Structure 1
């Protein structure tokens, strides 16, 4: 008989395999076996505890075992589905194509995960940004080298457990099935991505790297194929557009071809970095987290009111034990993001702190039409680059100086490899965004005593939180509202916000395409 038991345990028991085993032995009777199913750290009280769910079962069959299996059918001679982009949306669309008997052919403007590392090193060490291979573009998309967090609130969109199992089968730790906030890590995710690539290729799919799409072939109101920068044309039964939130050239292509796009709200701000020990002490209410508790995360949000307009300020992509990384996609701009290795063992904790931007906040940019939000985003990124001398060094201030609008005389140690330049960020950010961030930080300091400190550094700018452009699709067929056989997908089209939601959207979009144009 299968049964689930729930316990609230001390961290040294719940997070240590041998001690958890010793705790469970007296509770197991007969031929029953047990398995850890879920664990969640609760740090709300003065003493940290861990809530666990333990599954009990009898016999050889584990009812909670991973059920997903890699597709076995070879699709070499099946109808072709063209997929633009190899981020989570594109890769999981391709895996679903394999399962449903279609041949995925993927096109990636960047390089595979191994070759991509060299271009990331050039950004960090030589300040050279390759527009086709960087922290945003390349195999696996932005998520590959931006932490690998798998938490999502999009559980109504699809089967979250299935996506996690697919990652496990391709090499991720089974811990992601247990943790409330699962995380693979930037050091391990590239190998998972490479294994997914091998599955696609071994089952008859195709992947083309260094293959930037420059045009869409349209015949009689339908997307029939794509054209690459080298002039090659590829045709298929449909085109899945999964290009990510930074593919500005694709947005420009759609606008040029009069394929409907829309300006979209997003969020913009800065990234703040604290010593991880400080965040641990705030979150765990102790001087040291000890050997069992992981590097502490945090989530903060508040509402700010300026000129009778209310806007949210919130933490975004918080990276405990992580690093701040350069995420520009072209020379002449400075963009920052965060990442964490699997062990989250850096001495720093960083998080985006951003302000919600609505279309009505872009009054001076409406002349750019559908590119209003994009133009606003781009202008601030360029100002950040100019402020630091035109390379990838980032403008920065101590947090206390940011709030006081004072130039920092010196800056604390920071994980950002290209380096920092002491700058008054009020000169880089629009006034209302700067003022809202100040209000937000002050409120966070009240909620988390010790958060506002001169030992924290504010780094600009965090601007690629989501796509500033929306590519609309029909609610029933999921095709573009105007162009048949074109399927906008994932973060770049405005339908996802992270690895999990993008993967789910990729699966669903593949199902919709195949249902309408292959299995008819």
Structure 2
């Protein structure tokens, strides 16, 4: 027999395993020993009342639970001698999950990653923070696991119609992620733990006979009329396969330029651009939980959105990739540009909270006549390069105290920051331009009315947050997921414009692998 329960508990009870168990049994009308198993299904924070509570959903079994309670475990056949092969360009979540799904379906994946493996990649990240040296193929965006590996590891997604979210989370748990991600409403692995999970995913691919090649950058396509036969790497090696899944991430600008140069149809798409705002985490905790000490509650987060109007054009301004208890990190992919992103360790115990605050950039805002489908890419580059020049030509980032920004006033000095390369006081209007700055001001003023103390000089904005999503879409047929013109090309994940985070990218990778399996035998 199973009882399905939903209950609200004080944090001191909800996060204490024994106290939680006793509370659930009491709610079910049972005594200790009468329950065979308690399955915690969902946990979320409810901070709407005067005191924050924890909302739990749990199943209580008075007999043995079903064997498939946690869903199927994944097994991978040996595909080392498989007749069918698929090239997968990019070893981010879309590429890795596409490779594992290919293996399950009996196809050998060959994953090509321009960057380094997670361990070797750390040295290049240290060089950005300490020496201000950006390695174009190994940085916070490029390398094993993609941008998510070293920029937080949040797993929350609204893209539940694109695939099986639970399947993705179970696969991550099987490869070393904490089982808590199967329960928490906003699951998170943490930057300190995600590299080991990514390495385990890669080892599962290679143990099953797949290949993963690092420091292998694709520089050309092998096109036979409108059929993609394979790719050419930077060393001149030509690789052919039955199909190619292109999962390069949203920062692989050279791939967009290559496709455009080779006449492969691509499209400009809307994206968003802005800044990172950094507050003391204690300020956000106080505002959200209405208590000075949060106790056992996790570091508080927020999600904000406001519709702005500048020069008669309405555009949304919203928070993006909010990192409670986190750090701001340098995410440039080439020398001469400054880009910032956010990350949190698993404990989320930094003294700082940061979030991207970005404004929508629509096609009407871009110079499509001059740059065509690459217009958004050029728009991004211009602002990133201005940010670098304004902050001294290194990986220091331009910054301004939030209250000063709202008053259009220069900041005489900045606050302590989590951003390791350092900050330089700059009027952010000079970096962002008047229109974008005006939209962000409207957004921050609105957010200050929603969260007490938010729009204050106790916070500062750091620029620029420009890699929220791809400014280019590589089109594909809705049914087959294949490019509408080039046979054998399967655009995939964030870089192609079909995902927006680790989980949605992973689901899209699996879908592309399944689409390849359906079509590859018909050619």
Mapping of residues 206-285 of structure 1, within 5 Å: 206-285=211-290
Q: Is the 8 A contact 1:276 1:321 kept in 2?
A: yes
Q: Is the 8 A contact 2:287 2:453 kept in 1?
A: yes
1:317 to 321, 325, 334: 321
Corresponding residue for residue 437 of structure 1: 440
1:28 to 24, 27, 30: 30
Shift of 1:203: 0.3
Secondary structure at the counterpart of residue 298 of structure 2? coil
Shift of 1:404: 1.0
Secondary structure at the counterpart of residue 97 of structure 2? helix
Secondary structure at the counterpart of residue 234 of structure 1? strand
State how far apart, in whole Å, the 2-side matches of 1:417 and 1:423 are. Answer: 17
State how far apart, in whole Å, the 2-side matches of 1:159 and 1:519 are. Answer: 27
Higher alpha-carbon deviation: 226-235 or 82-91: 226-235
State how far apart, in whole Å, the 2-side matches of 1:391 and 1:11 are. Answer: 44
Mapping of residues 17-416 of structure 1, within 5 Å: 17-26=17-26, 27-28=29-30, 30-62=34-66, 65-78=69-82, 79-290=84-295, 292-363=296-367, 366-416=369-419
Shift of 1:83: 0.1
The answer to whether structure 1 residue 457 and structure 2 residue 471 are counterparts is no
State how far apart, in whole Å, the 2-side matches of 1:475 and 1:370 are. Answer: 20
Corresponding residue for residue 483 of structure 1: 486
State how far apart, in whole Å, the 2-side matches of 1:52 and 1:366 are. Answer: 54
State how far apart, in whole Å, the 2-side matches of 1:286 and 1:20 are. Answer: 22
State how far apart, in whole Å, the 1-side matches of 2:105 and 2:450 are. Answer: 50
The answer to whether structure 1 residue 420 and structure 2 residue 432 are counterparts is no
State how far apart, in whole Å, the 2-side matches of 1:61 and 1:492 are. Answer: 42
Q: Is the 8 A contact 2:327 2:344 kept in 1?
A: yes
Shift of 1:366: 3.2
Shift of 1:71: 2.3
Corresponding residue for residue 476 of structure 2: 473
Q: 1:73 to 1:211 in 2, by over 3 A?
A: same
Root-mean-square deviation (CA), in Å? 1.2
Shift of 1:65: 3.6
Structure 1-normalised TM-score? 0.98
State how far apart, in whole Å, the 2-side matches of 1:122 and 1:107 are. Answer: 24
Q: Is the 8 A contact 1:332 1:385 kept in 2?
A: yes
Aligned pairs, how many? Answer: 518
State how far apart, in whole Å, the 2-side matches of 1:246 and 1:440 are. Answer: 26
Secondary structure at the counterpart of residue 337 of structure 1? strand
Corresponding residue for residue 8 of structure 1: 8
Shift of 1:59: 3.9
Shift of 1:67: 2.6
Higher alpha-carbon deviation: 25-34 or 42-51: 25-34
Q: Is the 8 A contact 1:70 1:199 kept in 2?
A: no
Shift of 1:63: 5.4
| Structure 1 alignment gaps of length 5 or more | none
Q: Is the 8 A contact 1:111 1:139 kept in 2?
A: yes
Mapping of residues 493-504 of structure 1, within 5 Å: 493-504=496-507
Secondary structure at the counterpart of residue 81 of structure 2? coil
Structure 2-normalised TM-score? 0.97
State how far apart, in whole Å, the 1-side matches of 2:267 and 2:25 are. Answer: 59
Secondary structure at the counterpart of residue 227 of structure 1? strand
Q: Is the 8 A contact 2:280 2:353 kept in 1?
A: yes
Secondary structure at the counterpart of residue 245 of structure 1? coil
Secondary structure at the counterpart of residue 428 of structure 1? helix
Deviations 1:137-167 (A, max 9, x none): 0000000011000000000111101100000
Shift of 1:286: 1.4
Deviations 1:391-424 (A, max 9, x none): 1000001110111111111111000000000000
Secondary structure at the counterpart of residue 432 of structure 2? coil
State how far apart, in whole Å, the 1-side matches of 2:245 and 2:76 are. Answer: 23
Q: Is the 8 A contact 1:88 1:499 kept in 2?
A: yes
